[in-house]
Structure 1
């Protein structure tokens, strides 16, 4: 599930997507959107169906949730800057609802802030690369069934609204 970061020429350009002056309330909205788009493109290329802003059973919303052809569930939390990461302590509550968890950042994000064992995707608006594999947690069958049903329902409701 790992991609070679060196094979992506666009990664070096990701540092200039949004100037530091664009930081608003601890986040960079344009950069967040670009990272989300790139991570989405990567996961789609890997065969995942995606639902952005996926509501979990605990009421939290994951930035991206992916469902593989084999039913594996991946959650991605997008972080645009240090302040975005340090102000948000809810990501551990996502772990019980996925087989793998990734942070998606740009190239300038200080990787030392991220906890060990969780995956990292580096992305910009054009694509992404997995540069740290996520720990594999296997969901219990009943949790997987409930999450898959929730995934299907949330995706279907977005098509009908």
Structure 2
């Protein structure tokens, strides 16, 4: 018998975080490693950054509602940090709002599917090196924080 204080770890997640979880699960099946809430530069924070098996870098912005999408004024700044840019939304999202040149992923907390693949815009080698290093540091710090929650970052 479950006690009232025992809850699913998913219950504490916001809708965008649930989408990010499903996106990361799906991309892992293609050999991608994903991190959430990575800061590529000051004042920016991407929902999901994915590093592919061939070194490709994808940015995925998770939108849970029309209001969430229309209030996002920073997304175009993320384009310069990725080879491909995607929106991730649930099956009820009005996808006609999303720019056609962007990728589209439909998902939920348990999985996702790439509906539209955007054109690739290769990052410059110097930019790629910077973002891969940020990715690695971000991932390592997240792992360390899990093992040592009292550590100050």
TM-score by length of 1: 0.79
Q: Flag the structure with higher helix content.
A: 1
Contiguous gaps of at least 5 residues in structure 1? 1-28
1:149 alignment partner in structure 2: 133
1:132 alignment partner in structure 2: 116
2: CA distance between counterparts of 1:144 and 1:33? 26
1:82 alignment partner in structure 2: 66
CA-atom RMSD in angstroms: 1.2
Provide the aligned length of Structure 1 versus Structure 2.
Answer: 133
2:9 alignment partner in structure 1: none
2: CA distance between counterparts of 1:153 and 1:47? 20
Q: CA deviation at 1:50?
A: 0.8
Structure 1 segments (4+ residues) deviating >3 Å: none
2: CA distance between counterparts of 1:31 and 1:152? 26
Q: Which structure carries more relative contact order (alpha carbon 8 Å, separation 6+)? A: 1
Q: Are 2:83 and 1:117 aligned? A: no
Q: CA deviation at 1:154?
A: 1.0
Contiguous gaps of at least 5 residues in structure 2? 1-12, 146-153
Q: CA deviation at 1:136?
A: 0.7
2: CA distance between counterparts of 1:56 and 1:30? 22
Query: Which structure has the larger Rg?
Result: 2
2: CA distance between counterparts of 1:77 and 1:94? 9
| Secondary structure in structure 2 of the residue aligned to 1:117 | coil
1: CA distance between counterparts of 2:49 and 2:29? 15
Q: CA deviation at 1:59?
A: 3.2
Among 20, 42, 57, the alignment partner of 1:73 is 57
Among 32, 38, 44, the alignment partner of 1:54 is 38
| Secondary structure in structure 1 of the residue aligned to 2:22 | helix
Q: CA deviation at 1:33?
A: 2.7
TM-score by length of 2: 0.83
